[in-house]
Each structure stands twice: as structure tokens, then as C-alpha cells.
Amino acid sequence: MDEISTVRIYLLRAMYAFIAFGLGVTTLPDVVSGSGQFADSDTIINAILMGFCLLSLLGIKYPLKMLPVLLLELIWKVFWLLVYALPMYLNHGLDEYAQELVFACAMGVILTPLVLPWGYLITHYLKAPATP
């Protein structure tokens, strides 16, 4: 952990907490009120988001070990903005729900790269030898 400054570690922890809080506030009520319903895409999405929330909580304790969670955060938001939101915007504009999603995704796309330790990621993820 000597490669990463203490400030960066706390920024990572803050980002994990921000994600966990946001997902907890928006998803937990649906999970609690909706358990025992029929399986549909909403229940699957809520389960995935709660798993992501729990992994983000784990990231508060282990900020470097849980970096793939932040990479997933960045990748899925960039993907959604480019593949879904941009064509919607160009074709017929964004409805109110899509505008809220664009705002939330844009926050993640702006904040996540600011806190990620790019040098560490390159050294430990891209240049590191593959393990069996």
C-alpha cells in the first residue's frame, strides 16, 4: 500500500461509501418490499445492485483489493451513456427518467476516474503477469 498515498486511499473509501449509500437508499426499499414476488427483470436488477452495494461496503475496508468494483462502475456507466443514452438523446430526446439516469451516470463517469489510482491499476492489472 506504500505505492498509494493516504489521501488516495481515503478518496477510494469515500467513493465506495458514496456508491454503497446511493445504492442502499435507492435499492434497499425495493428489495425489502419486493421480496417474495415473482421473478422478473426488476428483481434481477435489484439483486445485482444489492450485491454491488455489499461489494462497495467491502471496498471501504479493502480499497485496493476491491478496485474491480470501481472499474465496473466506470465501464457500465460509460457503456450505458454511449450505447443507450446518446442514441436516445439524438433520436427523440430523453424523458425525465433517462435524464435522471444520465445525471447519475455522468457523476460516476466524472468522479470515478478522479479517484482511481491509474498507475497502480496499470502496474497491477495490465502489466502484471497472468496467474494460473
**Per residue in 16-72, pLDDT tens?**
999 999 999 999 888 888 766 677 788 888 889 999 999 999 999 999 999 999 999
- Whole-number percent of the chain with pLDDT over 70: 95
- Enumerate residues 6+ apart whose C-beta is below 8 A from 4: 64, 117, 120
- Report the chain's C-alpha Rg in angstroms: 17
Backbone angles phi, psi at 66, to 5 degrees: -100, 15
93-120 pLDDT per residue, tens:
999 999 999 999 999 999 999 999 999 9
57-96 pLDDT per residue, tens:
999 999 999 999 999 999 999 999 999 999 999 999 999 9
| 39 found inside a domain | yes
Write the DSSP assignment of 71-114 as a string of letters: HHHHHHHHHHIIIIIHHHHHHH---HHHHHHHHHHHHHHHHHHH
Do 112 and 73 form a contact (C-beta atoms < 8 A)?
A: yes
**For residue 120, how far is the Cα from the chain centroid?**
19
- Enumerate residues 6+ apart whose C-beta is below 8 A from 9: 1, 63, 64
Rounded distance between C-alpha atoms, residue 126 and residue 104, angstroms = 28
End-to-end, the C-alpha distance of the chain in Å comes to 24
Task: Look at the chain and report how many structural domains it folds into.
Answer: 1
Query: Which domain range does residue 21 map to?
Result: 6-126
| 15 found inside a domain | yes
Rounded distance between C-alpha atoms, residue 90 and residue 82, angstroms = 11
Q: What is the pTM of this model?
A: 0.88
